A and B are shown apart, each in its own frame.
Chain A
Amino acid sequence: MNNRLKELRGTRGWSQQTLAENLDISRQSVIAIETGRYDPSLPLAFRIAELFACRIEDVFVSPSAGQVAG
């Protein structure tokens, strides 16, 4: 699933490690999610969206819609 995680992280000036620490996950997980290798669970997707103060659909591309909202 494509997403804007890398872009959102960039706006905060965070490294992958910083994002991982903020989400209490491994850097491996951040890389896997950013590159679309791993689709996070709904609770983790909510945590990511809440961290960036936005909606889930602002972070993740709906596979059916094919585009990021906003």
Chain B
Amino acid sequence: MPFSPAQRRYNRRVLILSLVYTALLFAAVYLLSRHLVAGPLAYVVGILPALAVCGFFWMMAVYLVEESDEYLRMLQVRQLLFATGIALSAATIWGFLEGFELLPHLVGYVWPIVWIAGLAIGGVLNRLIERGRMLIGRRQAGL
């Protein structure tokens, strides 16, 4: 299926943002691991890769606003809900088990990674749901 104009814009922005994120991450690791920056500047350098990740979330919001095709928008919203549900559930379960000292501590930025993995799972679930609905629809239409 060809991409909608909004999807093409989203893909282009995510590609650019990925390059920016990679550059900022490498720069931050290089500067901070060698203690080349300190004080408030260290915080600024440290937060820049995180802001790039926040940019991914912003891009998704922009896509939802720009997507004029309501069906594609519905699919994207459902995918985002799957990802959010998976990430929040995983974080909650891990947090409780960590609190009971049954699991080791995890750094917070693991959860956005889980959320992005949840997007992939959401995409698969979307396809399965749509395939199931198509079969039901054909059966009801007597096809």
Contacts and interface: CB of A to CB of B under 8 A. Distances in A.
Contacts of B33: none
A15 interface: no
Give the interface SS of chain A, mostly helix, strand, loop or mixed: loop
A38 interface: yes
B69 interface: yes
Interface in A3-45: 24-29, 32-33, 35-38, 40-41, 44
A27 B1 contact: yes
Interface residues of B, number: 17
Contacts of A62: none
Interface of B: 1-2, 4, 68-72, 74, 130, 133-134, 136-138, 140-141
